[in-house]
Amino acid sequence: MKLSEHFNRSEFACKCGCGFDTVDAELILVLEEIRSIFHKPININSGARCAKHNAAEGGKPSSQHLLGRAADIWISGTNPLDIYNFIGSVYPDSYGLAVYRTFVHIDTRNKKARW
């Protein structure tokens, strides 16, 4: 099922196969904006997670992935730090944002969080 021009629900589904595939509409809007700036597809490592899969991944019990409000993303040929810095500059006072060696975590929580 298509969520937007460039994203399908299946991309965000829990990787354990349980069928959990809730995706926050605001997250899709943010990802579309990121895609429009970088002019490249966004790859989703992890989106929605059920509690069991979240625990298996080492996620916190309060993870935004459990609510379908988070995505771990990467863009081919793009340094994760560049993606992180872009998102942080566009949304300096909003959302959860973290940079890792190979991906960026973005979530649409109701307050700013950086790690």
Segments of the chain assigned E as strands: 43-46, 70-74, 96-99, 104-107, 113-114
Domains of the chain (ranges; CATH) run 9-114 (3.30.1380.10)
From first to last of the 115 residues of the chain, give the pLDDT tens digit: 999 999 999 999 999 999 999 999 999 999 999 999 999 999 999 999 999 999 999 999 999 999 999 999 999 999 999 999 999 999 999 999 999 999 999 999 999 999 9
**Statement: the pTM of the whole predicted model exceeds 0.85:** yes
